[in-house]
Every structure is written in C-alpha cells, then in structure tokens.
Chain A
Amino acid sequence: MNTLTQENQVSMDGSLQDDHNHDDGHHAPPSGIMRWLLTTNHKDIGTLYLWFSFIMFLTGGLMAMVIRAELFQPGLQLVDPNFFNQMTTVHGLVMVFGAVMPAFTGLANWMIPMMIGAPDMALPRMNNWSFWILPFAFIILLSSLFMEGGGPNFGWTFYAPLSTEYSPDSTALFVFSIHIMGISSIMGAINVIVTVINMRAPGMTWMKLPLFAWTWLITAFLLIAVMPVLAGAVTMVLTDKYFGTSFFEAAGGGDPVMFQHIFWFFGHPEVYIMILPSFGIMSAIIPTFSRKKLFGYSSMVYATASIAILSFLVWAHHMFTTGMPVFAELFFMYCTMLISVPTGVKIFNWVATMWKGSLTFETPMLFAISFLVLFTIGGFSGLMLAITPADFQYHDTYFVVAHFHYVLVTGAIFTIMAAVYYWIPKWTGHMYNERLGKLHFWCSVISVNILFFPMHFLGLAGMPRRIPDYAIQFADVNQIVSIGGFAFGLSQLIFLVVVIKCIRGGEKAPAKPWEGAEGLEWEIPSPAPYHSFTTPPVIK
C-alpha cells in the first residue's frame, strides 16, 4: 500500500476542487431539508447515518440509565418489573440495530469510496432508501413503548413462547420494525459489496485493498446471509402469535428450542457483524500512530475470513443449557474455542505493528489501544464462556452482561469513536480539540471499567441478568456499577461537544493531518469535496 500514486492530481493543488465546482454547476444539491431527504451522495448519507446512530446511542443510553437507576439499590423504586423488562429489551435492540450497525454503515459510506478511489457508492439511490427507512423503523419500535400493554418486554433475543403467546399486543410493531431494519441492512450490505467489487481504482488489487474495506466486504456477506434468517424468525413469531401457527409451540407440534437455533444462527454472525468493521478501523489507526506498516496484512485478511466462516458454526454456544445432546455440546464448544485462534492472530498482529514503531498518542490512538486491551478482556471472558461446563454457571448471569459489553462497548463503540476522531478532520476540514478529545477518552475509559468490570463479580457471585431487583448481598457492587454507568453516560456528552465544536470550526486540517497515515482518503483535500475521485486514481 505504500506504492500509491495519484495520476489525476488529486491533492493539495485543488484540481479536484475544480471538478467539484464544475459538477455543482450542473446538479447542485437542493438546500435545506430536501438536500438531506433526496441526497444520493455517499458523504451526505454517511453523515446522516452517523448522526442517526449517535441519537440512537443516546436514546439507548438513556434506557440504560433507567436500568442502572432501578438497580442502584435493592427493592423496586422507580419502575415496575414489566417496564424494566421493556427497558432492557429496547435498550438492547436500539444499541445493536440503532447505534452500532448504522454507525458502521455510516463509516462505510463516508470512507469506502474515498479509500478505494471511487466517486460514490455503486447504488446511490438505494443508498438513500436504506438510510431513510431506518428512522421509521425506530419510530415504530419506540412508539410501541407507549401502547397499552407496553412495548417489547421479552429481551432483545425475543425467545418464544414469551414473545408469542405471552407477549404484549405491540409485538406486531416490533416484528414490523425489525423487518424494516433488516431490509435497510441488506440494502446497505449490497451497496458495499457492489462498490468494493466493481469500483476499486485501477491497480487496486485485492491484496492492496485497505483492511476497512476488506472487513466491511466480509461483514456485508455475513449480513446478506443472516438478516433473512432474522426476518424468518420474526415472521414465524408473528404467525405464531396472530395467525395460529405453532412453529414454536409444543402443543401444536412445534419446538420452542428451535426458535433459539434460528435466532442464534442469525445472532452469532450478528455479533461478528458488529466487530469485523472495528478490526478494519484498528488496522488503519494503529499503523498510522505507530508510523509503521501494518504487520501481517495478508494474515489479517485470512483471519477475518476464517472468523466469518467459523461464525456460522458456533451459534449453539448460546444454548448450552437448553438440553442439547453431549456430542452437540462438544462440537459447539470446540468450534467456539477455535474462533479464538484467528482472533488472537489479529491481536498479536496489532501488537507487533506497535512494536518498534514510533508511537504517539492522539485521541484515536488512545481509543485504539484501549480497544486492544479491553476487547481482549472481552475475548478472554468469551473463551471462558465457551467452556461448556463453566458456561452452565456463567450463562444468563451478569458475567455474560459484562462479557458482551466489553466486546460491544469497549469493542465496537470505542473503535467507532476512534474512527470519528481519526477521520473527522477529513469530514469537517477542522482538527478536533485534542484536549477535549483526551478528556473524553479518559472519562470514558475509567468509567466504562467501573461500570462493566464489577459485573463479572456479580455474575460469578450468582446474580442473574434481566432482573429488576436482587438479593441483599449484591447491593454494594451494584451501587458501584450504577455510579460507573452514570459517569459513562455523562462522559459521552463531552463527545457531542467535541464533534459540534469541530464542525463549527477549529484549526484548519491539512489533507493528511496524521503524519503516519496512508491511503487514498488522505490524498484529497480536507474537508473532502462533495464529489471526490470523479476520475479514478491509478495505483501502481
């Protein structure tokens, strides 16, 4: 990747700026709200996705605050148990489908065309659709909370028959909103695949493709493979509840455990959907701030691919307590343990990239390093959960809650924040405020550990997840966890301030604000012009 050259003079001399003006003259974007409603520009759509994701992050965060406030003390204080269940369910759904996934799609929209030297995404009109149906999905989901009987209260995993015979009347809305989210994800994924396969600049061979594009490409295939499975699951829930089928009802010849197989056949690849793009981001940031080439580029690609393939063979590790035959338990245990090998390779490669580099610690790098440590901790607890006999003790306790927040919050969310700090100079043309960025980092990383680390202890001591009230012995630790939760929630407001300040102004960013950065995106001016790479660069 260090042999990139620009044939078409896209760099500081502004020739691309000319292009941009020229284009504008013919079809200038409409102004005001219509610009955003009708836009087919990958940068606009990327921005929309990212803001939407941030709003959802705050919404889901608010629900987490309700959960942690109720759990601050033993006893029922603030909310009744039914509403508590709605909060955990909708918190999970909003964070997974509203915060993490759209953030990655937003980053893909902004960065993939600029990274591979393409003028836009391959299917710009579909791109508009895939974003604009999302807000409606979440309006439907969130408004169901205000219906009589309440919103979804059966956990984000919506196990039948709790989600069928025993669910609130609003379940149809839940099903409908999941369908819309799924359609949106699939359209986003198709767009990434077509773009990466067809629109790479001449000379950008597969093994020169930036890892963010690689990991997203593989993620997109995972999405296309499993979102239809999720759609099938919710549809069966819908017909079981409203149309008298019995897919999941033993009395009618169905099987409630089959629901879990279907759900987790989607669900496990889904967790990799939420982490593979992170790996791509890490593989961009760590080399930049180490001023050294990424160690083991090709093994990174192979490791990503093998993780993706293995992710289809491990779904039932979420179901060890459902009473599977021993040989099935063994099979899923071994496969799950196997996944830690390629994951380990990635971690080692990143550490080797830092080794003998020339390191500096700007905010993106700080988030990347904390990812490296904290995601690995999440990986360790994941390995522990893979050990079936031990999983019988950990399953459905706060140990699991700790595990998946380490991989989702300090994994996915931290790299998304790292990515924003890393690329925001390119988006806005301004440097963010480094002091505030560091403040945001330190507040986040300390509070997130006060929030999630003690959850391991709670789980080991025997506190089940998804409960609104608990035994006296868990009181002290829950209090600490809640304090960490409020602190983490507040810290994210600093992030909002940094981003807004950076959009409004700040030190002018050069085309390549990071000394060690590599890649096509740094060869166009900052802020990136509305249309970039209208003629493809040639890569030697």
Chain B
Amino acid sequence: MKQLWCGALALLMTPAILATEMPLNMTEGVTDISSRVYHLHMTILYICCAIGLVVFGIMFYSMIYHRKSKGAVAANFHESTKVEILWTIIPFVILIGMAIPATTTLIAMEDTNDAALTIKVTGSQWKWHYSYFDQGVEFYSLLSTPRDQIEGDAPKGEYYLLEVDRPLVVPIGRKVRFLVTSDDVIHSWWVPAFAIKKDANPGFINETWTHIDKPGIYRGQCAELCGKDHGFMPIVVEALPEAEFEAWLASQQQQASLDVLEAEASLAVTLEIEELMLQGEQVYLTYCAACHQPNGMGLPGAFPAMKDSPIVTGDISAHLEMVINGKPGTAMQAFNKQLTPQEIAAVVTYERNAWGNDTGDIIQAIDVNQHGQ
C-alpha cells in the first residue's frame, strides 16, 4: 500500500518536470563540433539504456518469477567460465565501439591550427576580459543583472544572471581561436552552444577554438569554483555575420582611440566633489562592491572594510597605490587596466568621503596619472 502511495508521489513529480521550459537534454549547439559532441552523447546514452534494459530486465524477471512466495526453489549453479568470459568480452567490444567516435571527435576538437582570429580570454574574480590579438581592441565583461533582482527586491529579468554589460563579439563562418588564462584563481570558460569548456589557469595559457555557423547570442557561465561570486560571472557571446563583425571591430577601434583622447583630456579637467562622488559611487558599486560590499563594511576575514580603513582614511598615495597596482598575491587586483584615471580618481574620492570617512580629500584624474611617475 505504501509502495503505491510513494509511487503515486513520484509520478506526480514527473509532469512537473516535463512541464518546465528548461531543455531536458544537452542541446545540439551551433557548431559542427558541438553537434558531434551531442550525437556522441546520445549514442552513449542509448547504449547505456539498452544495457540497462537487458540487465534490469533479467533482474526484475528473476524478482517476479524466482521469489520464494511463488514456491521457487534455489538452483545450485554458482559459476560458469563460459558465461563469465562472454560478459567480459561483450562489454569490451561495446566499449571499443564507443571509443572510436570519441577519439576522432576529440582529435578534431584539439586541432587549433589555422585560426582566422585569435582572442585572449582572461578570467579574474569575477569577470572576464577579452582581448582581440593584433586588433587593438580589449574590454572587460561584467555581470549586468542588477543587485536588487538578485536580492529579490525587483522582478527577475529574462536573462537573469546570464547577461553582461559588454558581450564578446565574434564572426560566424570563421575559425576563431581562444587563448584562455587567468589573473588570479582558476576559472573555466564555458559556452555550451560551442561545446567549449576550458580552464583558465593562472600563469598558463590554454588553447581552444570554435567555428560558429549561426549568428545569434550564446550564453554560458564560469564552470570552476573561483570564490564567492563564482555563480555571478556569466559569458555572453554575440556571433555576427562577417561584414557586421568587421564594422563592429572598426567602430571599437575608433572608440578605443577616442577613449585615449578622452582620458588625456580628462587629465586637464578639475571636477567638483559632488560630481566625483556621484561617478565614484557608480564605479564602486560596479567594480568594488562585490568584495568590499555596498555599505563599505567588507566581509570580516576575507575582504577589509573601507569604512575607517587606515589606508582609506590615511595617506592618499598608499590608497592610490592599492587601487592602481593592487596587492599581488591577494584578491585585491590592479585596477589601472580596468579603469580610466578619471574613474580611479572618482572611486578613490568616493571611498575617502563615503560611509562617514569624511576625509574631505578630493582626487583628480591628473593625480592618478602622476602617481607612480
């Protein structure tokens, strides 16, 4: 009776699973490789199901017909060299059948030769950095889901936790090679639609590649535990047709040179404290709050508080040094690559005057530029 109850309960769960919008299987993806991987996965799944059916079938037959309550009397056999050799050899042959397609697929996956474009992918706590080789284009890509959605104060969007401020843009129809590495701990760059998952190891470079057939937006996530916000460093790849990609690249190059000019121009500008505080808060929330927390209190034992910190309320140049060059061997990374002098000036000003730090210090872009010269 209770078996029936439990069985009914289990059955109740099945429609719930089938009703979900989530795909229940691996998807075929959008590259030749990903579809080969998908078919490999299905082949092995079917083989396993077939073996399972036979083995469990025999077992359940025996459970039904060889039960004592049906008057079954135990037979006396307990070995048979012939049968035992047979069921060693048959699985072995099946395995060889699996190994052949697996081997050819694997060898194809690891062939990174003849790429048309190379992109360096660098993981750091908790963002990705993309750099297009020989193109002068590079940028960081950060989670763009707002904090209040995560904390449940706002309804969650369609791409909750799978959206970034600047997606990686790649062309379709061309072999793109990725060089994957890390600035701090191990991360793993995973885009299921390309069947790429490659660890980003600090101090070492891994290679992988893709050749996308269909334009579109593809989403993935970091797949190696990399600390507190491991769940919050998604990957978004936008695959564009060749011509659109070239146009995008050209616009980025133009933007990059404009950015240089703008940064230079900003050195000559003196901002009021209100403006710096406003901009500084923005920068702080985007780049620093993950560790030092929005309220500046940090996480004791892991990330120091900014409020009343001796560095933040003390010598300005030590504070600048910390933000510009980071502290090697700790999670405090160098921000000179990620932020413009203007942004660093703003965030440092913000830290020195927020949360009751009230030092009254104002830092301008030129101060940042002069630091370390």
- Chain B residues, CB < 8 A from A471: 159-162
- Chain A residues, CB < 8 A from B72: 356-359
- Chain A residues, CB < 8 A from B198: 321, 323
Among A155, A354, A356, A393: residue with most chain B CB under 10 A: A393
A454 touches B17 (CB 8 A): yes
Contact code string A151-165 (vs B, CB < 8 Å = 1, else 0): 001110001011001
B161 touches A372 (CB 8 A): no
Interface size on B, residues (CB 8 A): 110
- Chain B residues, CB < 8 A from A255: 203-204
- Chain A residues, CB < 8 A from B161: 74, 469-471
- Chain A residues, CB < 8 A from B83: 352
Q: Is A340 an interface residue (CB 8 A)?
A: yes
- Chain B residues, CB < 8 A from A76: 150-152
B225 touches A159 (CB 8 A): yes
Q: Is A30 an interface residue (CB 8 A)?
A: no
- Chain B residues, CB < 8 A from A467: 221, 230-231
Q: Is A389 an interface residue (CB 8 A)?
A: yes
Q: Is A297 an interface residue (CB 8 A)?
A: yes
Within 8 A of B (CB), among A137-173: 147-150, 153-155, 159, 161-162, 165-166, 168-169
Majority SS of interface residues in chain A?
helix
Q: How far is the CB of B295 from chain A (nearest CB, A)?
A: 13
A81 touches B62 (CB 8 A): no
> How long is the Cα–Cα vector from A290 to B74 in the complex, in angstroms?
7
> How long is the Cα–Cα vector from A352 to B159 in the complex, in angstroms?
52
A161 touches B79 (CB 8 A): no
- Chain A residues, CB < 8 A from B232: 81, 469
Binds B, one of A51-59, A102-110, A175-183, A472-480: A472-480
B22 touches A476 (CB 8 A): yes
Within 8 A of A (CB), among B1-36: 2-3, 6-7, 9-10, 13, 16-17, 19-26, 36
Question: What number of residue pairs across chains A and B have CB atoms under 8 A from each other?
Answer: 323
Interface residues on A, range: 35 or more
Q: Is B69 an interface residue (CB 8 A)?
A: yes
Q: A148-B301, A461-B24 are in contact. Are A345 and B78 (CB under 8 A)?
A: no
- Chain A residues, CB < 8 A from B158: 472
Q: A390-B40, A457-B24 are in contact. Are A345 and B88 (CB under 8 A)?
A: yes
Majority SS of interface residues in chain B?
mixed
- Chain B residues, CB < 8 A from A149: 299-302
Q: A337-B99, A443-B6 are in contact. Are A347 and B55 (CB under 8 A)?
A: yes
> How long is the Cα–Cα vector from A360 to B103 in the complex, in angstroms?
46
Binds A, one of B41-49, B271-279, B280-288: B41-49
> How long is the Cα–Cα vector from A218 to B67 in the complex, in angstroms?
34
- Chain A residues, CB < 8 A from B223: 321, 395-397, 464
Q: A165-B330, A442-B6 are in contact. Are A387 and B197 (CB under 8 A)?
A: no
Q: A389-B106, A476-B20 are in contact. List 14 more A-B contacts (CB 8 A).
A: A77-B152, A149-B300, A291-B74, A293-B78, A295-B79, A299-B79, A326-B107, A355-B62, A373-B59, A389-B36, A461-B22, A466-B230, A473-B20, A473-B21
Q: List 26 A-B contacts (CB under 8 A).
A: A75-B152, A81-B231, A159-B185, A250-B201, A251-B329, A290-B74, A295-B78, A321-B188, A329-B110, A330-B103, A340-B95, A358-B73, A359-B66, A372-B59, A388-B102, A388-B106, A389-B105, A389-B195, A396-B188, A442-B3, A457-B17, A458-B22, A460-B23, A474-B22, A476-B20, A483-B13
